[in-house]
Amino acid sequence: MKLISPMVITALLLTALPALAETTVTAQVSQDAGQVCQSKSSLRSTLKLTEDQREKLGMLRDQFILSTADKKAQLEVAHNQMRRLFQQPAIDKQAVLTQEAKINALKDDLATAKVNLMLSSSDIFTPEQRVAFGKMHAMRGFRHHHFFGHESPRSEGDGKIG
């Protein structure tokens, strides 16, 4: 009799908890997914880009991708090399620090390239579009940095060492 009561309670909890958890998670995921989809469509409708603006922005993005591809590849290799340094039986502190300096320099170069892309892009926007884009960008940053109390997976960190 004593064994049946805890089993019944446990069974009821195991039956009820997934239903409660599913409702909560579904609501959170649906709300966030709606915001992501809404932000893409509202970006297009809010900025009202002309065909010429879209073409220029596309060309800027293509140039950015081509000009940073080598640095991104070097950064990935540098991360891999750093990982291998930490896997050694005896860690060479000077080699790690040198590798970290190399990684930081590559990240700095990529960050500067991204800022230059943003500056070049802003030259294409009208003053009204710049204001609208700034507001949308500010809201996006706020939402991403408060993703369940942590940074979002799409924020600056890439989860790699360095």
126 within 8 A of 58, measured Cβ to Cβ: no
Do 22 and 55 have their domain in common?
no
- By three-state DSSP, how is residue 158 classified? coil
78 within 8 A of 103, measured Cβ to Cβ: yes
Do 83 and 162 have their domain in common?
yes
Do 67 and 147 have their domain in common?
yes
pLDDT at site 40 = 52
Q: Which of 62-66, 67-71, 112-116, 119-123 has the lowest mean pLDDT?
A: 119-123
**Residue 72: other Cβ atoms inside 10 A:** 13
Do 43 and 61 have their domain in common?
no
Task: Report the candidate in 137, 152, 154 with the shortest Cα–Cα distance to residue 47.
Answer: 137
Domain tally, the chain:
2
Domain that holds residue 91: 50-162
Contacts of 157 (CB under 8 A, 6+ apart): 151
Task: For residue 44, name the pLDDT band (cuts at 50, 70, 90).
Answer: low
Task: For residue 41, name the pLDDT band (cuts at 50, 70, 90).
Answer: low
Task: For residue 72, name the pLDDT band (cuts at 50, 70, 90).
Answer: very high
| Residue 1 predicted with pLDDT over 90 | no
| Residue 74 predicted with pLDDT over 70 | yes
Do 25 and 61 have their domain in common?
no
Do 26 and 72 have their domain in common?
no
Do 113 and 139 have their domain in common?
yes
Q: Which residues of 27-56 are buried (b: 16+ CB within 10 A; e: fewer)?
A: eeeeeeeeeeeeeeeeeeeebebeeebeeb
Task: For residue 130, name the pLDDT band (cuts at 50, 70, 90).
Answer: confident
Do 105 and 27 have their domain in common?
no
79 within 8 A of 103, measured Cβ to Cβ: yes
Do 43 and 54 have their domain in common?
no
Do 72 and 43 have their domain in common?
no
Q: Which of 9, 25, 47 is the last residue of a domain?
A: 47
pLDDT at site 43 = 60
Do 75 and 21 have their domain in common?
no
Do 43 and 55 have their domain in common?
no
Q: Name the maximum alpha-carbon separation found in the chain.
A: 78
Distance from C-alpha of 158 to C-alpha of 162, rounded to nearest angstrom: 10
Percent pLDDT > 90 in the chain is: 41
Q: What is the CATH number of the domain that holds 94?
A: 1.20.120
Average pLDDT along the chain: 74
